[in-house]
Structure 1
Amino acid sequence: MMIQAICPASCGELLQGYIEGGEKLISYSINLFSRVSIIQKNQNDKENIPHNYTKAYRMLEKVFKYYGYDEKDYKHLCLKIDSPIPIAKGMASSTADLVATATATAEYLGKAITQEEIAKLSIGIEPTDSIVFSEITLFDHLKGSFYKQYGTFPSCKVLLLEGRDVIDTIDFRKTDRTSIIKSNEKEVAEALFHFQKGIKEQSLKELGKAATISGFANQKILYKEGLEEIHEISQRFGAYGINVAHSGSVIGILYNDTDFDREGFCHTLKDKDFMKSYLSICSYDIIPGGGRILTL
Structure 2
Amino acid sequence: MAEARCPASCGELIQGWIGGGEKLVSCPIDWFSTVEVSEGMKLPGERPRMRQMLERVVAYYGYSTALANSLNIKLESTIPVGKGLASSTADIAATAVATARHLGKELDEPTLATLCVQIEPTDSTVFRNLTLFDHLNAQVQIACPTAPAVELLLLEGNTTLLTEDYHRRNRESALISNAEVLDNAWLRLQRGCELQDARLLGEAATLSAIASQQLLAKPMFNALLALVEKFDLYGLNVAHSGSVVGLMLDERKHDYQQIIWQMKQLAIDVHYQTQHLVKMIEGGVR
TM-score normalized by the length of structure 1: 0.94
Residue of structure 2 aligned with 1:131, choices 125, 147, 151: 125
Distance 1:260 1:273 in 2: 21
**AA at the equivalent of 1:274:** I
Deviation readout 1:54-104 (Å, 9 max, x if unpaired): 000111111111111111122111101111211111110000001110110
On the 8 A contact 2:236/2:247 being kept in 1, the answer is yes
**Residue 150 of structure 2 corresponds to residue 150 of structure 1:** no
**Residue 26 of structure 2 corresponds to residue 27 of structure 1:** yes
Distance 2:95 2:106 in 1: 14
Task: Give the aligned partner of residue 237 of structure 2.
Answer: 243
Unaligned runs of 5+ in 1: none
Task: Give the 3-state SS of the residue equivalent to 1:220 in structure 2.
Answer: coil
Distance 2:167 2:93 in 1: 22
Distance 2:208 2:177 in 1: 12
Task: Give the aligned partner of residue 195 of structure 2.
Answer: 201
On the 8 A contact 2:14/2:185 being kept in 1, the answer is yes
The aligned length equals 286
Distance 2:180 2:49 in 1: 36
On the 8 A contact 1:238/1:261 being kept in 2, the answer is no
Unaligned runs of 5+ in 2: none
Task: Give the aligned partner of residue 182 of structure 1.
Answer: 176
**Residue 270 of structure 2 corresponds to residue 288 of structure 1:** no
On the 8 A contact 2:145/2:190 being kept in 1, the answer is no
**Residue 129 of structure 2 corresponds to residue 172 of structure 1:** no
Task: Give the 3-state SS of the residue equivalent to 1:158 in structure 2.
Answer: strand
Deviation readout 1:18-72 (Å, 9 max, x if unpaired): 0111000001210000011112213xx44x454xx10001111111111111111
**AA at the equivalent of 2:143:** Q
On the 8 A contact 2:15/2:240 being kept in 1, the answer is yes
Task: Give the 3-state SS of the residue equivalent to 2:280 in structure 1.
Answer: strand
Distance 2:166 2:237 in 1: 19
**AA at the equivalent of 1:181:** L
Distance 2:285 2:76 in 1: 15
Deviation readout 1:132-158 (Å, 9 max, x if unpaired): 000110000011111100022111111
**Residue 286 of structure 2 corresponds to residue 272 of structure 1:** no
Deviation readout 1:147-188 (Å, 9 max, x if unpaired): 100022111111100001101111121121100111111211
Task: Give the aligned partner of residue 156 of structure 2.
Answer: 162
TM-score normalized by the length of structure 2: 0.97
Distance 2:255 2:231 in 1: 5
On the 8 A contact 1:234/1:265 being kept in 2, the answer is no
Of 59-68 and 33-42, more deviation after overlay is shown by 33-42
Residues 70-149 of structure 1: matches in 2 within 5 Å? Answer: 70-149=64-143
Task: Give the 3-state SS of the residue equivalent to 2:265 in structure 1.
Answer: coil
On the 8 A contact 2:148/2:192 being kept in 1, the answer is no
Distance 2:109 2:209 in 1: 27
Distance 1:160 1:35 in 2: 21
Task: Give the aligned partner of residue 214 of structure 1.
Answer: 208
On the 8 A contact 1:9/1:85 being kept in 2, the answer is yes
Identity of aligned residues (%): 40
Distance 1:263 1:41 in 2: 47
Task: Give the aligned partner of residue 228 of structure 1.
Answer: 222
Task: Give the 3-state SS of the residue equivalent to 1:223 in structure 2.
Answer: coil
